[in-house]
Structures are given as C-alpha cells and as structure tokens.
Structure 1
C-alpha cells in the first residue's frame, strides 16, 4: 500500500495542472449534487414542518354573499370522511384603503383579508412556527409583505376610508400554509376579534371560507364532488390540498430542480473527462505498464494503482463538496426557510446530500474500473511495443504547394486528422453553452410581457379586476364608462368568471371555472383548434382537457342554473392560473354567480403605461388596476428571483468549466504532441505560430460547441421548461430570448475566457526542443 501511495503522489506531482483541473471538476459536481439535494431536503422538511404546525385544510370553498348555515351543517354531518369543519370569516379590504409608510397597496396584486386566529386547524403561525397571537391594536403581517415591502415588527399599518382612520402596530410576521407564496393571489392579515368587528363597521366586505379537514388517507377530490352535487354556497374559488401543494412545490422546488439538473450534467462531463484522462495517461504509459506486467506485477494491483488516484480525488472532492454545500444550499434555500421555517426533519438536509455523494462516488469508481480494465487487456508484448490499446492517430501532411495562411491551414488540417481526440472537449463546450443559456432564457421568458398568454389571455397592457360585491353591477358600469371615453385606450375586453358543473370520464360531477367574453379582441394561440364561436362551443385548458379526457370536436355537457347545455369543444389552450384548470365559453352568468370581472386593455401607441395606470387608479379608487408586467412579476416573482440566482450560478460554472477543460486538454495535447511541436520548430515555425495553431483548434471546437449548445438550449431547453410547467397547465413552451445577449454577448464572453486560457496554457510550448527528441 505504501508503494501505491508513493506512486500516486509522484503522479500528482508530475501532472499538477491536469490533476487540479480534474479535482475542480469533481468538486463542482459534488458541490452541486450535494447543494441541490440540500435545497430539496430543506424544502421537504420546511414545508412538512409548516403543514404539521399550521394544519391547513384538505379542501376549502370561498364564498361571497349570504349563505345558509344549517345547509352546511347538514352536509358536514352526512360526510363520514370529514374530521373537522371550520367557517372562516374574512374581512376583505380594498388595497387603496391599506396604507404603509404613506403609500397605499394599490400597486400590489394580492387581495387582502383581515382575519382572526382560527380554532381547531388552519392556524396562522409566527416566525418561530408557533400559533400567532395579537392584541387589540396589533396586526400580524404576511411574510410575503415582509419580504416584498420590507414591513417589520414595530411598523404601523393604517386602514383608511374617507374620514375613518385606524392604525395597527405590527406585532408579528406570520406564515400562512394556505397563502404563503406569490402564486396564491390572496393574503391574510391577523387581527384581534374586536378590531375585526370595528373595521367591518367602516370598510371592507365579508368573504367566507368553508374549510374541511379530512380523516387520514381520504381524497379531497371526492369531497369536492360531493360539495358541488349538494348545491352549497360556492360563489368563489374552490381549493384542494393538492393545488396548495402544487403552488408551494413549484415556487420552492424550481431552484432545487434546476441545480440537480445542472449537477447531473456536470457528473456526466466529469465522467467524460475522467475517462479521457485515464485513457490518455495509460496510452502514454503503455511501456511502463508492460514492464510491470513483465516482472509479475498482478493486473489487479496495476488497476488499483491507476484507480486509486481518482478515488482519492473523489474523496477529497466529496468532502469539500459536502462542506461547501452547507452555505451553498442555505443560500438557495433561503426563501423556503423564510416562508416555512427550518422544518420538522432537519436530518433530510444532511442525509440527502450524503446519499447523493455516495451515488457520485459510485459512478466515479465504476467509470475508473471500466476504463482501466479495458486498457489492461493488451498483452505484455503489445504494451512493450507501444501498440496496446492505442488508437491509430491521423498525421497531417504538409501541402507541397505551400501555404497562404499557414497557421490556419495547419491547425484545421491537424483538427481534421485528430478529430476523435476533441470529442470530450466538444461535449463540455456544448454543455457549458447549454448551462449558460437555459436559465437565462427561462428567466427572460417568464419576464416577457407575452408570457401572459400562458395565463389564458392574449397580450395586453393593463388588467382590471372587479371582485364580487353588492355593488358589482354599478362598479362594472362605472369602469366601462371610464374606458369607453378614453382616447388613450386602443381596445379593451371584459370577461366574467363563474363556475359550471360538468362530468369527468368517471361520470362524476366536477366544477369548471369558465371565462365568458369576446376572445377575438385579445386572441390566444391555441394548442389545438380555435376559440369558441357562439353559445354552443367551449374551449378547455390543457389540464382540464386531460382530466376530462376530451379532445377537439368532442361533446361536453355542462349544467348551470339548472339548465343543461350540450357544448362542442372548439379548442384547447394553455393556462397556468387556477391550477391550470379553466375554460372559455359564452355563458351568461347571473351577477350573483360572477366571482370576478376581469378587463384587459391595450394602450394607444406612445401612452406611458405607469402614468395611465395611476390615472385609472385615481378614476377607479375601489377597483384593482394592475399593469400586466407587474401582474406577471408579482404572480411569478419568487420564481424569477430563484431563476436569477440559478442564472448567475450557471454562468459562473459554465465559464469556469470552459477554462478548466481548456487547461486540462492543452496539457494533455501538448504532452502527447511534444514530438510534433519539436518538428514544427525544426522546420521554422515559431513558438507564437504553434500557440496560435493550438488556439485555433480549441476556438473552432468551442465555436461549434456554442452553436450546438445554443440550439439545444432553444429546443431541449424548451422541453425541460415545459416539463417543469406542465404540472401548472403549460404543456408546450416557447422560450423567448434576447438575441443580443444570447447570440452575441454570452458567446463572446465564453470565447474570451477560452482565448485567455489558451494564451496562458500554451506558454509551455517554448520548452519543447528538437534536440530533446533526437536524444530520445
């Protein structure tokens, strides 16, 4: 063992650049694998811990307006699977009446309700994940606002309408297992019962949440169908635990998913580099291996010698990667810890990374054993002659007619002869370009104004929401009056949203959220078919179509207001709102059944979006007016922040990988071509010429790698992004890019990094002399 360790140490000393580069490769793979799994473990632990303490409902139905308490009580008594039932009274207050530091919350998309602490389940928790309490004159503020608006304990929230003013001191920041993330468009403030009653006399409207906790193992879908069949109050959205989980996992889990994908790519690249280095090293040391075999050195011992170096490297990389994953994982898991706490099972964030590193170590050990064993099959005679396992290399013949561009001609000629050697570095350059572009393109897509088409509506500039209230008709008429006489508005459309009942493939009744309005004003791009025309057609979101097992041309029977309608499915579109389950049809909902009116407007050319938004807010003080870019940013804000972090990390890793593989490859190529380099010097080529030729080879390979990586980022990348969003209802994504950044700036940065690396890495050329080859 001592002899083997000495041989390994000497090999480290002989090839420090290659060893260092490979070690960094393995460290990065270990760091990302352990870091991604640490984020995943933290997310699982934190989310489970929050749910364990808060006990969110398995099913809830929102409702505005009057309702019959006895009907609900009879329904609860008739359902054996219900473990507990709760009616939550929520005082919904317009954002224009909520003031923080002198500014209203009109710019905030969220609907804000003021509630008291629940009894039995669905608790609001403080930042220690204990049941939050507030006294009269105090308020608990959602963690979402603590992060986005900077609200902290000790601050004052003012509720104001006309001459009425009430100030509440922020006593605690609260976590809400139902409404934590930005993708849930409602938020709950915690106040005392006395303050809630006092506020209700002056401003706001009551909204109710009928919440059900099920016995363990029961499905919320069955309860949802039973509730719909009982014709109970349902003037609002219905939410299941699965939908809440979907919002949370998507918001918190995207970054972990991206990191793990990147780490798997890095593992693949590290295995390629490892295989290449072992083959190159053993090809150059065939004589030494033959001598060891000739004197009776066992094949197993030789294999151990060559494997030990890389297993030691993997051990070092694993330790550094595991330790580095602690701050790395904590940084990327910061949001989930802030929103959910440290969790109920902290061991997950320590155990999952360890298992991931065991997997990585096993991959490295298997790869080493496979390559070494394959290279030891040659006989002693073949090894001593230098022919064992060595591929026949191409040799470039200088043209007899001379050169017009000698360095370019020689470099391309050698590249053509020895192209097999460049397969590994080409793949690394491809994946580096892919890693750099994919998160950047994903972020750009989510931020682009056209992303609203994945929210079930065509492109627009401003969105106006008219929530259900006793003055719904008057509010609608007032909005239309303002818009009709405004020359700054090019076009607008109004859509009313309500619910109808349909049958799924099992014959069970399901509620479908339907948007009714003129779809031709802001047209969608349909996956299949077209927008519904007339009252006999309906369009389904892709998730609804999948759940109902319907295709374009199929019939769908829906029931609304006691009337049965036989509709034909005209088209299928994408929608990531409301869990991806929506529909579009010309259904004339009664005012009391309308959950919300949504208006979209496009401004005339040259009209400033922010100024127009503020003007409309002044004209419509009780109605929510939101610029579409802000609507997207607030709905997907946390996801964009996570993508920004991943984008920065991926860019740094991609550039570092490009530099490392360039250094490693240059050292190996120069070591194997030292005879060729000496011959070139003998025929009059300078050190500068030879360095330029090496640089041309690598830059040509990198240019090809960037080209292929860019194509993959825009094709395979779209598939990856679509897969991530498919659970939300977007089954087919089109990545939107910034051409200047994607096609010019990023490739230029990669080429610059490799060029600088080549300049530094080829300085060793001056040490190769013809006289040394004559002596050999």
Structure 2
C-alpha cells in the first residue's frame, strides 16, 4: 500500500517534484561550490605566497641605498630572518616595443624589469618554479598575458635588448590589476645592459622576512622610526599582499554566498508551498487514512519520503555539479597562483553543509503535517469537507462594488485578503529576488560612474601628473605648475605635496603619518563625515587611519611639524584606497619635511583632445608620470568590473527563472484552494477569462509592490551591505548610483512578464473546472 501511494503521488506531481528537485539541486550545488572555492582560495593564496617566499615587508626606493646602514638596522633587530636589496628598472611603456608594431604606451601600469632573486620573493613560471630566463629571453607579467597584449613567442625590443617571450610569471606582489606596477623578468646580464639605457631609471626593492608574522608591525614601525630609505610608496606588508591576490575571487565567493543564503530561504518556502498544496489536494485521502487508524508516522512517510529521496538525489548530483561550477574559478586561481590541491578538510566542510541543509529540510517538511497528529478522524473528515487546512475559512461574500469598472480590482483584492499569509510570503520572496537582481546591477553602475574615483582618495580629474623618486621635487613641481597654468586648454588645476610627519600613538610609540598638503577645496574626495581642512589647525583623516587611531570628527591629533608639536583638529574622515588607505590631508606649510611626491591634478576644458594633450605633455615632461584617470581606472578595475558584470547577468536570469517557477506553483496552489468558490462564480455567470483576470491582477499587484519594496531595501539595506563589504578596503558611506532604466524599467518589465506568464499558464486549469462536483459539495 505504501509503495502504491508513493508511486501514485509521484505520477500526479511530476512537475512539482521536478521543480523542488531543481531548487534543492541549485541550493546544494551553490553551497558546495561556495564552500569549496572559499577553502581553495585561502589555501591557494597561502601556498602561493609560501612557494614564492613573499617578503613580509617591501619598501620601494629610488636612489642610492646605504647598505651599511641597512645592515646595521638588520643586526639591531633579531626579529628579521633575512633581507635583500634588488633592482627594479623602470621603463616607459613607449620604450617597450612588441613585434615592432605595438608598444605599452597606453598602459597605465608602471613597467619595470628585474632579474630572479636568490633568497626570496621568487618570480614563478607556469610550473610554479622560480623562472630562470637565459640571455635574450623575457618572462612577461601575468597581467599582460591575460589581457592578450603580449603572447608567448612574441619579440620585445627595449633599447638595445631584443628579447623573446619565453612565458609568463606569477608575481605575488604585482599579479593583480589593482597593483599599478608590473615586473618583467630577464637575465642578470640583460638587466645590466638595460640599466645603461638613457630612458631607464633604477629603483630599489628593499625586502624583509621576519621569524614570526606577529613581528611584521614591529619591524615596519622600526624602519619608519629609523628614517631609512623610503621615497617610494608606503611599505607593503604580508597581509596586504595576500588580500590583493584574493580580492576578485573573494568578491565572487561573497556574492555567491549571499545568493546561496537567499536561495536556501526561497527553496524552503517553495517546498512549504508545494507540501501545503499537496496536503490541500489530499485532505480527503488523509481523512480516510485517519479513519482507517493508520498511525501518524505512516502518513508522514507517505508525504515526506519523496522529499527525502529528492534531497538525497540532489545532494549527490549537486556535489558532482559543484565541480563543474567551481572549475572555471579554480582554473583562474590556478592560472594566477598555480595549482593547489584541495585540502581534505574542504570535503569535511562540504559534508557539514550538506548535513545542516538536510536537517533544515527534515524540520521544515515535518511541520505542516504536525497539525494532523492530535486530530481525530471526525475532525479530519470535517476538515476535508471544508477543503481547507483552516476550518474557520468561510466562502467570500458575493457583493460587487458600486462602480462597475472596479469589479476586477475588487475581486483581486478579495483574493489577496482571502490568502493573506500566502500572499505575504510570496511578496517577501519576490522582494528578496528583486533585491538580489538590483543590488549587483547598482553596484556595477556605481563603480562605473565617473564620481566613483572620489571614493578611492582622488578627486574627479582628467589627468594626473606625479613627480616622485627624484631630487628637488618641490622646485620641479613649482616649475610644472607655473607652466601648466599658462596652458589655455586647462579648466582647473591644483597641486599637492605628500610628506611624512611623526606622532605619538596610544602606547607612546613614535609613528609616521603620510599627510597630503595643499588646497583641498578643489578636486575634493568623498567625506563620510565632516569636511575638508580649511586652515592650518585642521586635518582630515582617511577612514582606516581614523579607525586605527580611534579618532572621530572633533577630536585632536598632535603632529611634529618642523620640530615643534602642532595640535590639529580632526574635521573630516574620507574614503581612500591609496597608500594602504592610511593617509591624512591638511593645509599647513612646512619648511623642513622632505616631500615624498608631488601630485598635480588637471581638469581639461575639452576632454575630446585629452589623448593629444597627454601625448604632448609626455614628450615635454618625460621624467614625470602622467596618467589618464579614466584609462587608469579601467585598466586597474577591468577584472573586477568584468566579474561584477558576470554576477549581474547570472543573477538576473537566475532570478527571472526562480520567479517564473515560484509563481507557477503559487498560483496553482491558490487556484486549488479556491476551486469551490470559483465554481460558484462560474454558476453566477463569470467567464473563465474574467476570473483569470482577477488572479492576474492580484499577481500584478503583488509583483509591483515587491519591486517597490526591493527599491526601498536597495536604497537602505543594499547601500549598507555594499558599504560593509567595501569598508575593509577603506571605502565608507558608499552612495549607490542607481541605473534608472534597469531599476525602474527593464527589471520590472522582465519580472512582470515572467510572473504573469507563469500565472497565466497555471490558470489554464480554469477551463477544466468541474462545476457540478464543487456545487454538490458546497450544497451538502
């Protein structure tokens, strides 16, 4: 008997079980994939930096390095396990010729050439072994290999050097597009030849490894306090190296995790809908089983066995499919960081995830049937005759609104009120799905917006001119500013100088703070709190620096300026990604501090001739770094933007599919519950099309309300989620830029079309409604 009931149930509900199976499959596949990718990413990064023996601290410096002084510093700090000083020969992109046809002139990257290191900081080949180029060979950065600009076998000419591309290298420090410097690897012989070229400038990479990772911050601060060579960017630390290598993959896993949590909720609600629908249809059969004296455990097995069987199949298939889903991401990880075996504990975590999901399914599916446990056979029969799980439900009154053309909205509203809990549930689900569709789209639009650069610590300029790693920066910067102010094509220009100033932290230790001096009213950055400094007694701090110092707007910070203590009031906190995200802005004047770099920001009157102006300035100021801000942004964030675009597209189509399936089952469930009432309406002369329009209007109302709720959640909760995700990188109070056409036109149209099409398909059953049967039941 049990097997016959199960077989009949499966035959009658093939579509419903298929849909539930697909949802469980999707949930488990994504859960397994997200778990595996998280473990793979962390283990790949660890294995990569260990294989490359990445430095724990790295300082770039242009100019001579006092080796004896550096050696004394190392001897004074036993925490240091080893150190090295290596060459990084900077070469302008225009000097790197590819196959005598192209060059890297348009690249925003700082390109340099190095030879293989002997102790640590190895540049790895395709086999994750230290690459060993011969004379006349070059290994290119992975960044250019991925972009397709340079291919294996290409010929590269740099001055006197003619080099053949032997392969690509994995560089733990400079792999990511987020890092603006890239290393080419050549032999030591070729490097010495390149250093003699007039267009080449040598930069030193000063690297340290410590015995314990907990000692990194100690050595970093000791290096700053010793005022050793450091005219390049701020010192890069081991945690920063690991974070940069995993940024894009972590973003994908994070979004996948959010998607998993949402789909888990949707899947469980969907299963509840399906189970309630089946129970609603089989009330008479359940009542008969109660009259026959069959135990509750038997009834539970009849209705739940198919779900457990479906769950078992979905778990097995989902585990297999998760390998297909995670494979492209793991291939990208392998390309970036080398092959890394999946740790055994990854499979244990996946088993734990599967177990938790199974327990949730067991608990969820058992609840709807629990109401029959204490029910007597007589109560079950009365419940079956009412054709409702709730005996108190009464047939809706047949009154009509006084205004004839309002009858359709009237009956649509009555339908919603008759099933408030179910409509509220579907409203919640569709709102969540809509939010999941709109959030990645809005984040993509925000990052693509021209104002986003202000969250990165830079003003909204067209061109940046950076003078650094040279002597007499102040004089050169003043001359540059004088010449550019005479250029009639420039609409606005400003100049800033960055210098280090010391202060005492809460433990009484002397620390260094990088402060940008200048007029911050022009080309402002985004301030999450307060404003920019206006006088010499004010200072603004970056978000990460303010958190480190535990300061807020209105607090004070004392800096040592020209040998004197100067108390400054914190008037603003801003977002910044530059120089580790720990910077400050002020307007005071100093005479003794050494200028680390000078940055000139330019806004052009006509951006159509921007490329021409940049080329003109590059010829005139060949020793300075000129950057097209728009090109720099796209080249730096292209990988991230591509990933966001992929996520946006995937979530959009997945969301539409889920809405279609959900609405198909939901409307069919409502129709099943209302069959007796619909028979009465048909008897009174209401046609099938008329009744169908009532349900379609109700569905349309719910979908539109869900979209409105999703928009509100996007502007409140969505904005907070995005800010939370980006806060660890120094971006705070992110203002989402809404893609109006997508948010208010295309997404609503797509969701309405998906939901209404599903509802229309489910309501075809109206044409097959057995009026006589339900009228007979109603009259009895």
Task: Give your verdict on TM over 0.5.
Answer: yes
Once the two structures are overlaid, the 10-residue window that deviates more, 91-100 or 584-593, is 584-593
1:67 aligns with 2:65: yes
Name the SS of the counterpart of 2:173 in structure 1. Answer: coil
**Count of residues in Structure 1 that have an aligned counterpart in Structure 2:** 770
Which residue of 166, 169, 178 maps to 1:171? 166
Note closer, same or farther for the CA distance 1:526–1:359 as it changes in structure 2 (3 Å cut): same
> What's the CA shift for 1:637?
2.3
Aligned twin of 1:122: 121
> What's the CA shift for 1:263?
0.7
Contact 1:96 1:622 in 2 (8 A): no
Tell me how far apart the structure 2 counterparts of residues 432 and 126 of structure 1 sit (CA, whole Å).
44
Name the SS of the counterpart of 1:712 in structure 2. Answer: helix
Aligned twin of 2:333: 336
1:676 aligns with 2:673: no
For residues 530-558 of structure 1, the C-alpha deviation after alignment (integer angstroms, 9 at most, x for no partner) is 21223332211011011011122322222
Note closer, same or farther for the CA distance 1:473–1:504 as it changes in structure 2 (3 Å cut): closer
1:82 aligns with 2:80: yes
Which residue of 243, 247, 250 maps to 2:247? 250
Name the SS of the counterpart of 1:267 in structure 2. Answer: helix
Tell me how far apart the structure 2 counterparts of residues 278 and 130 of structure 1 sit (CA, whole Å).
57
Tell me how far apart the structure 1 counterparts of residues 484 and 394 of structure 2 sit (CA, whole Å).
75
Once the two structures are overlaid, the 10-residue window that deviates more, 93-102 or 466-475, is 466-475
Note closer, same or farther for the CA distance 1:552–1:583 as it changes in structure 2 (3 Å cut): same
Normalising by structure 2, report the TM-score.
Answer: 0.93
Aligned ranges 1:259-278 → 2 under 5 Å: 259-278=256-275
Name the SS of the counterpart of 2:157 in structure 1. Answer: strand
Name the SS of the counterpart of 1:301 in structure 2. Answer: helix
Note closer, same or farther for the CA distance 1:399–1:505 as it changes in structure 2 (3 Å cut): same
Between the two structures, name the one with larger relative contact order (CA 8 Å, sep ≥ 6): 1
Note closer, same or farther for the CA distance 1:286–1:399 as it changes in structure 2 (3 Å cut): closer
Tell me how far apart the structure 2 counterparts of residues 129 and 524 of structure 1 sit (CA, whole Å).
41
Tell me how far apart the structure 2 counterparts of residues 148 and 710 of structure 1 sit (CA, whole Å).
37
Output the aligned Cα RMSD: 2.4
> What's the CA shift for 1:739?
0.7
Name the SS of the counterpart of 1:453 in structure 2. Answer: helix
1:581 aligns with 2:582: yes
Tell me how far apart the structure 2 counterparts of residues 374 and 731 of structure 1 sit (CA, whole Å).
50
Aligned ranges 1:279-298 → 2 under 5 Å: 279-298=276-295
Tell me how far apart the structure 1 counterparts of residues 50 and 330 of structure 2 sit (CA, whole Å).
20
Tell me how far apart the structure 1 counterparts of residues 449 and 347 of structure 2 sit (CA, whole Å).
38
Once the two structures are overlaid, the 10-residue window that deviates more, 677-686 or 728-737, is 677-686
For residues 155-182 of structure 1, the C-alpha deviation after alignment (integer angstroms, 9 at most, x for no partner) is 122224xxxx422111120001111111
Tell me how far apart the structure 1 counterparts of residues 140 and 339 of structure 2 sit (CA, whole Å).
20
Aligned twin of 1:324: 321
1:313 aligns with 2:310: yes
1:467 aligns with 2:464: no
Aligned twin of 1:204: 200
Which residue of 166, 176, 183 maps to 1:181? 176
1:419 aligns with 2:417: no
Contact 2:473 2:595 in 1 (8 A): no
Give 5+ residue unaligned stretches, structure 1.
none
Aligned twin of 1:12: 10
Tell me how far apart the structure 2 counterparts of residues 473 and 591 of structure 1 sit (CA, whole Å).
12
> What's the CA shift for 1:569?
1.8
Aligned ranges 1:520-531 → 2 under 5 Å: 520-531=521-532
For residues 751-776 of structure 1, the C-alpha deviation after alignment (integer angstroms, 9 at most, x for no partner) is 12222223333222211131232455
Name the SS of the counterpart of 1:176 in structure 2. Answer: coil
Name the SS of the counterpart of 1:224 in structure 2. Answer: helix
Contact 1:558 1:566 in 2 (8 A): yes
Tell me how far apart the structure 1 counterparts of residues 87 and 573 of structure 2 sit (CA, whole Å).
37
> What's the CA shift for 1:669?
1.7
Tell me how far apart the structure 2 counterparts of residues 487 and 53 of structure 1 sit (CA, whole Å).
54
Tell me how far apart the structure 2 counterparts of residues 503 and 380 of structure 1 sit (CA, whole Å).
80
For residues 318-376 of structure 1, the C-alpha deviation after alignment (integer angstroms, 9 at most, x for no partner) is 22322222222223444323211222545466554444333322221222234433553
Note closer, same or farther for the CA distance 1:232–1:622 as it changes in structure 2 (3 Å cut): closer
Which residue of 39, 44, 49 maps to 2:42? 44
Give 5+ residue unaligned stretches, structure 2.
none
Note closer, same or farther for the CA distance 1:484–1:525 as it changes in structure 2 (3 Å cut): same
> What's the CA shift for 1:481?
4.7
Tell me how far apart the structure 2 counterparts of residues 392 and 487 of structure 1 sit (CA, whole Å).
82
Aligned twin of 1:699: 700
Aligned twin of 2:595: 594
Tell me how far apart the structure 1 counterparts of residues 598 and 332 of structure 2 sit (CA, whole Å).
33
> What's the CA shift for 1:394?
5.8
Normalising by structure 1, report the TM-score.
Answer: 0.94
Tell me how far apart the structure 1 counterparts of residues 246 and 77 of structure 2 sit (CA, whole Å).
30
